[in-house]
């Protein structure tokens, strides 16, 4: 074949039977990854290679002589798309298209098709050479990635909407605890408070797990690694899970060495891993007689953490898939405990991101279980805290002026009352303009700023607050959005901290401790 400089498409040579053409036809015939065939000028199939047979399902005998529109869905034929493709190929010399095609059995598949116009030596149209690739797998992957992206976006919005009502509920419970001492029916009030607090904690945990699924499946989990003592990780996890263990009247034994076990990791994520294992052990261990045990040791350059229980155990057939996402044991005793089947999958993924492994073992149903985490250990680093920062003695703080900005009235007012109970001076604003006005008059030491505000977003308010001719306050994003991209955006907008709703008073106190007493008197509060 030769190509003319004045005619678009390919021109066939006058001698089409020489040995070179025979070799070329043999090559075309044996290509199996691409469908290659020739159409007559009217679109009738004139030749058919083995790749076309493999992809479409037609033998050469079945398809040669038929119009190529047989490969198209009814909708495409109704709008004349096959004829349009030939017209474009003839006018331009070639035409490339992607779209749905049909196999012989009627199954649709996504394809990339290239039409090239063929002319003889007199420039008379002889037909079209067609090369087609089956892109079904690529299309499936693209659609899956798109679904994952939409799922992540949906989960982020869902998490935000669920966390918004949790925030004022937790605030109200903390306020109730501070004011119920010495009151009539104090025991009943405390019981109610503790019940609501436990349920808020459980719902918050479920929301966090759902969001983590979206992050992991989309590869958006980012770790903030530092040199940390594994004993600190265990202590924080135990502190978080003890209310549940006490409620179930279970016994937890903690066995830790006297010396630190240093690892390189994200302390919040490792605490989450241990919390999940302890919570799982408590959930599947009987009340009152349940015994849990957690230990840590260092051996051969590895940090080993083990959680054991005397609970319902794991069937041997279930051990290989116990860490699969959304998998739960089939036994009714486990189903009755609820849960999403996410916790152990998150444990495996997060441990893997730290370069470690996790294994499950159990003698069988009713014989308890054991989970062992293995992480690379570090040689003893320089004296640092668990967060990786140099040890320093915290200084006392004075009562602060705090501006709370949230369009949710319940959240704003409960935050105000909670912070006032802690001794701070607090004002609230429900939108951006009101926040800027209050900041100019109130000169707050800290601003608790929601991101999803009406009129002007929290990001924009943060940037405008930084431009005011006032001492810069500590800017704290308090939001239902907690993904890595959300944290990146708040950092770029000038926020100092990013807290995810619902925020406990202990967390707020720890963050506000960044504001130290200075040698200069703080500006006088104006009521």
Residues of the chain with CATH 3.40.50.2300: 401-512
Distances (CA, A) of 97 to 53, 72, 94, 101, 116: 20, 13, 10, 11, 12
Considering only the C-alpha atoms of the chain, give the largest distance between any 2 of them, rounded to a whole number of Å. Answer: 108
Q: How confident is the model over 162-171, as pLDDT tens digits?
A: 777 777 887 7
125-131 average pLDDT score: 92
105-122 average pLDDT score: 91
Lowest mean pLDDT among 97-101, 180-184, 222-226: 180-184
pLDDT interval class at 341 (50, 70, 90): low
Contact 316, 364 (CB under 8 A): yes
Lowest mean pLDDT among 80-84, 139-143, 254-258, 422-426: 139-143
Contact 422, 505 (CB under 8 A): yes
Q: Which two tokens stand for residue 315?
A: 């069937």
Residues of the chain with CATH 3.30.450.20: 10-134
- Check residue 386 and give its pLDDT: 44
350-365 average pLDDT score: 92
Which range of 20-29, 115-124, 165-174 scores highest in mean pLDDT? It is 115-124
Cα distance between residue 495 and residue 448, in whole Å:
10
CATH of 224-391, one of 3.20.20.60, 3.40.50.10240, 3.20.20.30, 3.30.565.10: 3.30.565.10
69-92 average pLDDT score: 93
Chain-centroid distance of CA 157 in Å reads 12
pLDDT interval class at 75 (50, 70, 90): very high
- Check residue 523 and give its pLDDT: 43
Query: Would the pLDDT of 92 be above 50?
Result: yes
Which residues are paired to 263 by β-bridges?
Answer: 228, 377
Lowest mean pLDDT among 139-148, 302-311, 366-375, 394-403: 394-403
Higher local confidence (pLDDT), 278 or 197: 278
- Check residue 402 and give its pLDDT: 94
Query: Would the pLDDT of 518 be above 60?
Result: no
- Check residue 213 and give its pLDDT: 66
13-35 average pLDDT score: 59
Q: How confident is the model over 247-276, as pLDDT tens digits?
A: 889 999 999 999 999 999 988 889 989 998
Cα distance between residue 268 and residue 196, in whole Å:
24
- Check residue 517 and give its pLDDT: 40
Residues of the chain with CATH 3.30.565.10: 224-391
Strand pairing category for 302-309 and 262-265: unpaired
The fold for domain 10-134 equals Beta-Lactamase (3.30.450)
- Check residue 328 and give its pLDDT: 52
Cα distance between residue 278 and residue 348, in whole Å:
14
128-134 average pLDDT score: 92
Chain-centroid distance of CA 218 in Å reads 6
Q: Which of 273, 267, 257 is nearest to 351 (CA)?
A: 273
Query: Would the pLDDT of 15 be above 80?
Result: no
3-state SS assignment for residue 371: strand
Query: What average pLDDT is seen over the chain?
Result: 81
Query: Would the pLDDT of 139 be above 70?
Result: yes
Query: Would the pLDDT of 98 be above 80?
Result: yes
Percent residues over pLDDT 70 in the chain: 79
Which range of 172-176, 207-211, 473-477 scores highest in mean pLDDT? It is 473-477
3-state SS assignment for residue 474: strand
Contact 464, 436 (CB under 8 A): yes
Cα distance between residue 192 and residue 173, in whole Å:
9
Higher local confidence (pLDDT), 203 or 464: 464
Query: Would the pLDDT of 462 be above 80?
Result: yes
- Check residue 22 and give its pLDDT: 55
Percent residues over pLDDT 90 in the chain: 38
Q: How confident is the model over 281-298, as pLDDT tens digits?
A: 998 999 888 999 999 999
Cα distance between residue 388 and residue 270, in whole Å:
14
The fold for domain 401-512 equals Rossmann fold (3.40.50)
- Check residue 25 and give its pLDDT: 61
Q: Which of 191, 308, 204 is nearest to 250 (CA)?
A: 308
Lowest mean pLDDT among 104-108, 182-186, 362-366, 383-387: 383-387
103-126 average pLDDT score: 90
- Check residue 393 and give its pLDDT: 44
DSSP string, 407-443: S-HHHHHHHHHHHHHTT-EEEEESSHHHHHHHHHHH-
Query: Phi/psi class of residue 495: alpha, beta or left (left: φ > 0; alpha: ψ in -120 to 50)?
Result: beta
Q: How confident is the model over 481-490, as pLDDT tens digits?
A: 777 778 888 9
- Environment class of residue 255 by beta-carbon count within 10 Å: exposed (0-12), middle (13-18) or buried (19+)? exposed
- Check residue 396 and give its pLDDT: 46
Lowest mean pLDDT among 91-100, 199-208, 497-506: 199-208
Cα distance between residue 424 and residue 478, in whole Å:
18
Which residues are paired to 405 by β-bridges?
Answer: 429, 449
Task: List phi, psi (to 5°) of 234.
Answer: -65, -40
Higher local confidence (pLDDT), 398 or 4: 398
Q: At what angle do helices 458-467 and 432-442 cross, to 10 degrees?
A: 30
Q: Which residue is associated with the tokens 């035409």?
A: 95
Torsion 423-429-434-435 (CA) sign: positive
Lowest mean pLDDT among 23-27, 196-200, 345-349, 509-513: 23-27
The number of C-alpha atoms within 13 Å of 91 and in the hemisphere containing its C-beta is: 6
């Amino acid at each position: 074949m030769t190509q003319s400089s004045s005619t678009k498409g390919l021109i066939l040579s006058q001698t089409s039977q020489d040995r070179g053409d025979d070799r070329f036809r043999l090559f075309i015939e044996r290509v199996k990854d691409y469908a290659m065939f020739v159409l007559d000028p009217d679109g009738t199939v004139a030749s058919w290679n083995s790749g076309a047979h493999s992809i479409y399902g037609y033998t050469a005998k079945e398809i040669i002589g038929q119009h190529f529109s047989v490969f198209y869905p009814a909708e495409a034929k109704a709008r004349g798309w096959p004829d349009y493709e030939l017209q474009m190929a003839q006018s331009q010399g070639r035409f490339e298209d992607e779209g749905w095609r049909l196999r012989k059995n009627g199954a649709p598949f996504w394809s990339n098709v290239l039409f090239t116009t063929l002319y003889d030596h007199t420039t008379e149209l002889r037909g079209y050479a067609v090369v087609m690739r089956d892109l079904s797998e690529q299309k499936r992957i693209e659609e899956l990635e798109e679904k994952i992206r939409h799922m992540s976006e949906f989960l982020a919005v869902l998490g935000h909407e669920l966390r918004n009502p949790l925030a004022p509920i937790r605030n109200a419970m903390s306020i109730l605890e501070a004011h119920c001492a010495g009151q009539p029916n104090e025991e009943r009030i405390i019981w109610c408070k503790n019940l609501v607090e436990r349920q808020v904690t459980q719902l918050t945990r479920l929301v966090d797990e759902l969001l983590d699924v979206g992050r992991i499946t989309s590869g958006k989990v980012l770790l903030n690694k530092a040199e940390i003592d594994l004993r600190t990780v265990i202590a924080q996890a135990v502190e978080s899970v003890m209310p549940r263990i006490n409620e179930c009247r279970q016994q937890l034994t903690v066995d830790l060495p006297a010396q630190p076990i240093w690892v390189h990791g994200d302390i919040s994520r490792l605490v989450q891993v241990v919390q999940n294992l302890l919570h799982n052990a408590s959930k599947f261990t009987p009340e009152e007689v349940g015994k849990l045990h957690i230990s840590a040791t260092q051996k051969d350059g590895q940090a080993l953490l083990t959680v054991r229980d005397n609970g319902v155990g794991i069937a041997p057939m279930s051990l290989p898939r116990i860490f699969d996402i959304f998998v739960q044991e089939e036994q009714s005793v486990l189903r009755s405990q609820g849960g999403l089947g996410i916790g152990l999958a998150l444990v495996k993924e997060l441990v893997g991101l730290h370069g470690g492994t996790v294994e499950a073992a159990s003698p069988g149903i009713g014989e308890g279980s054991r989970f062992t985490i293995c992480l690379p250990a570090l040689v003893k680093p320089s004296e640092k805290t668990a967060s990786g920062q140099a040890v320093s003695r915290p200084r006392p703080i004075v009562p602060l002026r705090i501006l709370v900005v949230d369009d949710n009235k319940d959240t704003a007012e409960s935050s105000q009352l909670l912070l006032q109970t802690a001794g701070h001076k607090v004002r609230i604003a429900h939108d951006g303009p009101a926040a800027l006005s209050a900041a100019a008059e109130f000169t707050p030491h800290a601003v608790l700023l929601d991101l999803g505000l009406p009129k002007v977003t929290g990001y924009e308010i943060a940037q405008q607050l930084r431009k005011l001719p006032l001492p810069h306050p500590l800017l704290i994003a308090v939001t239902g959005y907690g993904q890595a991209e959300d944290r990146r955006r708040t950092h770029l907008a000038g926020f100092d901290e990013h807290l995810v709703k619902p925020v406990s008073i202990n967390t707020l106190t720890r963050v506000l401790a960044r504001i130290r007493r200075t040698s200069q008197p703080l500006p006088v509060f104006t009521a």
